[in-house]
A and B are shown apart, each in its own frame.
Chain A
Amino acid sequence: MKDIILLDHGSGGKASHRLIETRLLPRLDNPMLRVLDDGAVFDSPGPRLAMTTDSYVVSPLFFPGGDIGKLAVCGTVNDLAMCGAVSGHLSLSLVIEEGFPLADLDRVLASIAETAQEAGVMVVTGDTKVVPRGAADRLFINTAGVGPVREGANLSARFVKPGDCVILSGNMGDHGAAIMALRNGLNFADEIKSDAAPLNGLAEAIMATGADVHCLRDPTRGGVGTTLCVAGACDITGLEPLYLANEGKLLCFVAQADAQKALEAMKGHPYGKNAVIIGCVEENQEPMVYMKTIAGGTRVVDMLAGEQLPRIC
């Protein structure tokens, strides 16, 4: 019974990657899609443009630190920022289940407006669909974004080089932990807030230093662990939780000589004040991510396999 989609296929880990590689890429293959970055960068008569899209199906819709609307704006703004885009225009597509309270819709839209204002982007087009009760889980949102890429920015996982330093902009896993805690009614649900935040300002602060940045990634689904595996980085010094989702963090792969400069710029920005260099990229025949543990041992960091689920013990 392997011929159906399972939740694993949407976890952002191995199964998701395999689905994309075996089903989508063979049919839609082109050089821009093939690199599987957060967005695509392409030439236009004016500046190069970045384009990205994402759908948001989070449950619960409202959680400490944010809501589905804030996520929908941050996710697309951040994907554009990871491509080196300086600003953007967004589309907003709503799939609403019959019976959804208008008050909740108003709350989500207010959050979208507020986050768009903070990020300095505009929602310029959109679509609204209402589906029969049961055909969707209350509210799904899709946003797409397009924006001009900063001159000189060439960011992609394929540009990561041996010797690059890896900087993480802050504590890992807050979004994933907040959602998990709320979904499972855990007693620390009130203490953990999602880190949802627009990162275009932080990315711009890094790029403005002139540092030789090779790649920016926001480790959302699959977390930092999975993102690093995609980027093939090695010798990471860090701590758990590696696989929980983040919605307001970025990983910056930067030439070693410029790492301190980039780090200082990140620390000077409100969304990067806890930034830290977590490792470096080494030459290795077989790309692998290693981590030094707090115990002083070494272990491999692999991509997430399967959803993280509540356990027995």
Chain B
Amino acid sequence: MPLSNNDKIAASCSLLAEKIKEVAPPGARIMEVCGTHTVAVFRHGIRSLLPEGVRLLSGPGCPVCVTPQSEIDLFIRAAGLKGVILATFGDLIRVPGTKASLGEKKAGGADVKVVLSPLDAVKLAAENPKRQVAFAGIGFETTAPATAAAIMAAQAQGLKNFSVICAHKLLPPALTALLAGGKLEIDGLLCPGHVSVIIGARAYEPIARDFKLPCVVAGFEAADILLGLYRLFRQMGEKRVEAENAYERAVSWDGNEKARRIMHSVFEPADAAWRGLGTIPASGLAIKDEFAGFDASKRLGISPEPAPDPPGCLCGQVLTARITPPRCPLYQKACTPENPVGPCMVSSEGACAAYSKYFSPV
């Protein structure tokens, strides 16, 4: 009888797990940069397949988690403005702001619409000419080109009621800042698949070189992650330090140049505040002056106000791998998936959410 697809996947995973056991250096510490990787690692039970002592640590690659409290509050404030429809990806709905979440504002009467793409928000604006539609623009290089394309589409349609609250961030500068801090004890980076589709595997070459850290881009299926880990451990065993691409079916060495061009035609690099990392030079995106009409801060007259992280919340330390979620004093006590205190507990890519959903001492 021919093997089913599932049998083939199971066989590949089993083979890779065996090979990992052969080459993984004892006590190796790998940071999975991307939140989707964190969740996939748990969902596939990858940790239970790794040799004892090998550790996987979550990094700053969850777009919701790295958004500072001041920006979360800004989205929520915009949703409360008269005549405004706040369009957002679903991830933000349950993220707690200082006073309430978008979901709570919505339940209280604010017009919050979940969209699948920024272009859906442009459509909303076209359908509601008497309302202002503000799109909560968050995410890394993965989503920023789509937001840029939405702004271009709104401009082409002559829409005067569409704007973006721009909280987009760039991953390599944040990674660089995190590593330059010198406090991270890690031996390799499992690099994100989605972001790398845009920036290319080449983007990790300077990081590998400057910080002497093996970097491997990996996909999100169980076998993809195991392959990425295997190639990281193999580099370590062979004393090589390189940027490698283990996700060639989606990621090229140079990435998606067209997407980057669209992104850079609408946005320009700007200093950005990150939860847990502080302000990092040129690590965010600001809307260029020529598209100022689509900048919500100008159109709606709103800008971030200082907002401290919730008392006791250590999301910032979690997403910089300084602690694992169970070491946060609020974890599963004051902060649960039902009543989250910080974004890491509620984001679909959050480390605390993944730990509390899947983690058990098996």
User: Which A residues contact B (CB, under 8 angstroms)?
Assistant: 1-2, 4-8, 14-15, 18, 184-186, 239-240, 288, 290-300, 302, 305-307, 309-313
- In the complex, A240 Cα to B357 Cα: how many Å? 14
- Report yes or no: B337 in contact with A295, Cβ–Cβ below 8 A: no
Query: Known: A2-B339, A4-B107, A7-B107. Contact between A290 and B362, CB under 8 A?
Result: yes
- Report yes or no: B143 in contact with A6, Cβ–Cβ below 8 A: no
Q: Report if B90 contacts A (CB, 8 A).
A: yes
Give the residue among A185, A292, A294, A312 with the most B Cβ atoms within 10 A.
A312
A300 neighbours in B (Cβ, 8 Å): 357-360, 362
- Report yes or no: B10 in contact with A295, Cβ–Cβ below 8 A: yes
Query: Known: A1-B100, A294-B10, A305-B338. Contact between A312 and B91, CB under 8 A?
Result: yes
Query: Known: A305-B338, A309-B114, A310-B116. Contact between A297 and B45, CB under 8 A?
Result: yes
Query: Known: A6-B107, A288-B360. Contact between A312 and B142, CB under 8 A?
Result: yes
- In the complex, A299 Cα to B353 Cα: how many Å? 14
From A5, A15, A186, A312, B143 is in contact (CB under 8 Å) with: A312
Query: Known: A288-B360, A306-B346, A312-B89. Contact between A294 and B9, CB under 8 A?
Result: yes
- Report yes or no: A293 in contact with B45, Cβ–Cβ below 8 A: yes
27 contacts between A and B (CB under 8 A): A1-B99, A1-B105, A4-B104, A6-B107, A184-B116, A185-B116, A294-B6, A294-B13, A294-B222, A295-B46, A295-B226, A296-B13, A297-B48, A300-B360, A306-B94, A306-B337, A306-B346, A309-B90, A309-B91, A310-B116, A311-B90, A311-B348, A312-B63, A312-B64, A312-B91, A313-B139, A313-B194
Closest residue to B99 on the A side, CB-wise? A1
- Report yes or no: B337 in contact with A14, Cβ–Cβ below 8 A: yes
B93 neighbours in A (Cβ, 8 Å): 307, 309
B46 neighbours in A (Cβ, 8 Å): 295, 297
- Report yes or no: A2 in contact with B104, Cβ–Cβ below 8 A: yes
From B44, B103, B360, B362, A8 is in contact (CB under 8 Å) with: B103
- Report yes or no: A311 in contact with B10, Cβ–Cβ below 8 A: no
Q: Report if B223 contacts A (CB, 8 A).
A: yes
Closest residue to A186 on the B side, CB-wise? B116
Minimum C-beta distance from B73 to chain A (A): 13
- In the complex, A293 Cα to B139 Cα: how many Å? 29
- Report yes or no: A298 in contact with B45, Cβ–Cβ below 8 A: yes
A4 neighbours in B (Cβ, 8 Å): 104, 107-108
Q: Report if B14 contacts A (CB, 8 A).
A: yes
Minimum C-beta distance from A232 to chain B (A): 14
A306 neighbours in B (Cβ, 8 Å): 94, 337-338, 346
- In the complex, A98 Cα to B10 Cα: how many Å? 55
Closest residue to A286 on the B side, CB-wise? B360
Minimum C-beta distance from A135 to chain B (A): 15
A313 neighbours in B (Cβ, 8 Å): 35-36, 63, 139, 142-143, 194, 349
B17 neighbours in A (Cβ, 8 Å): 295-296
A295 neighbours in B (Cβ, 8 Å): 9-10, 13, 17, 44-46, 49, 222-223, 226
Q: Report if B263 contacts A (CB, 8 A).
A: no
- In the complex, A253 Cα to B19 Cα: how many Å? 39
Minimum C-beta distance from A252 to chain B (A): 23
- Report yes or no: A305 in contact with B337, Cβ–Cβ below 8 A: yes
Minimum C-beta distance from B199 to chain A (A): 14
Give the residue among A1, A18, A299 with the most B Cβ atoms within 10 A.
A299
Closest residue to B345 on the A side, CB-wise? A305
- In the complex, A185 Cα to B13 Cα: how many Å? 34
- In the complex, A151 Cα to B357 Cα: how many Å? 40
Query: Known: A295-B49, A295-B223. Contact between A8 and B194, CB under 8 A?
Result: no
B9 neighbours in A (Cβ, 8 Å): 294-295
Chain B, 1-39, contact with A by CB distance < 8 Å: what is the 0/1 string? 000001001100110010000000000000000011000
B226 neighbours in A (Cβ, 8 Å): 295
Q: Report if B42 contacts A (CB, 8 A).
A: yes
B212 neighbours in A (Cβ, 8 Å): none
Q: Report if B138 contacts A (CB, 8 A).
A: yes
From B42, B63, B89, B223, A310 is in contact (CB under 8 Å) with: B89
Q: Report if B264 contacts A (CB, 8 A).
A: no
Closest residue to B90 on the A side, CB-wise? A309
- Report yes or no: A312 in contact with B108, Cβ–Cβ below 8 A: no
B6 neighbours in A (Cβ, 8 Å): 239, 294
- In the complex, A298 Cα to B93 Cα: how many Å? 30
B222 neighbours in A (Cβ, 8 Å): 293-295, 297
From A1, A239, A299, B42 is in contact (CB under 8 Å) with: A299
Q: Supply 17 further A-B pairs (C-beta < 8 A) apart from A288-B360, A291-B45, A293-B43.
A: A1-B105, A2-B104, A4-B108, A5-B107, A7-B103, A295-B10, A295-B44, A297-B46, A299-B43, A299-B44, A302-B357, A306-B337, A309-B348, A310-B116, A311-B89, A312-B63, A313-B36
Closest residue to B64 on the A side, CB-wise? A312
Query: Known: A306-B346, A313-B139. Contact between A296 and B357, CB under 8 A?
Result: no
Chain B, 333-362, contact with A by CB distance < 8 Å: what is the 0/1 string? 000111100000010110001001111101
- In the complex, A43 Cα to B359 Cα: how many Å? 43
